[in-house]
Amino acid sequence: MNTADLGLPVEVPSTALFTDQYELTMLRAALKAGTAERRSVFEVFTRRLPEGRRYGVVAGTGRVLDAVENFRFDAGVLGFLRERQIVDEETLEWLAGYRFSGDIWGYPEGEVYFPGSPVMRVEGTFAECVLLETVILSILNHDSAIAAAASRMSSAAGSRPLIEMGARRTHELAAVAASRAAYLGGFASTSDLAAGFRYGIPTVGTSAHAFTLLHDRERDAFRAQVDSLGQGTTLLVDTYDVAEAVRMAVEVAGPELGAVRIDSGDLLLVAHRVRQQLDELGATGTKIVVTSDLDEYAIASLAAAPVDAYGVGTQLVTGSGHPTCSMVYKLVARAESADPGAPLVPVAKKSTGGKTSIGGRKWAARRLDADGVAEAEVVGTGPTPADLVDRQLLVELVKGGEVVAREPLDVVRDRHTAARANLPLSATQLSRGEPVLPTEYVHGDSGN
Whether pTM > 0.85 for this model: the answer is yes
Q: What pLDDT shows up at residue 13?
A: 73
Q: What pLDDT shows up at residue 1?
A: 36
Computed on alpha carbons and rounded to an integer, the radius of gyration of the chain in Å comes to 25
**Below-70 pLDDT ranges, the chain:** 1-12, 352-354, 445-448
Q: What pLDDT shows up at residue 350?
A: 82
Share of the chain above pLDDT 70, in %: 96
**Start-to-end Cα distance in the chain:** 33
Q: What pLDDT shows up at residue 446?
A: 53
Q: What pLDDT shows up at residue 8?
A: 56
Q: What pLDDT shows up at residue 432?
A: 82
Q: What pLDDT shows up at residue 78?
A: 96
Each residue of 65-100: pLDDT tens digit? 999 999 999 999 999 999 999 999 999 999 999 999
Q: Is 290 left (phi over 0), alpha (psi -120 to 50) or beta?
A: beta
For residue 256, what are the contacts with CB-CB under 8 A and spacing of at least 6? 231, 232, 283, 285
Q: What pLDDT shows up at residue 355?
A: 74
Each residue of 134-171: pLDDT tens digit? 999 999 999 999 999 999 999 999 999 999 999 999 99
Each residue of 111-132: pLDDT tens digit? 999 999 999 999 999 999 999 9
- The answer to whether 119 touches 113, Cβ cutoff 8 Å, is yes
Q: What pLDDT shows up at residue 303?
A: 96
Share of the chain above pLDDT 90, in %: 92
Q: What pLDDT shows up at residue 2?
A: 42
Q: What pLDDT shows up at residue 9?
A: 59
Closest among 368, 334, 342 to 437, alpha carbons compared: 368
Q: What pLDDT shows up at residue 447?
A: 53
Separation between Cα atoms, residue 446 and residue 360, nearest integer Å: 5
- The answer to whether 411 touches 419, Cβ cutoff 8 Å, is no
Count of Cβ atoms closer than 10 Å to residue 408 Cβ: 14
Separation between Cα atoms, residue 255 and residue 231, nearest integer Å: 9
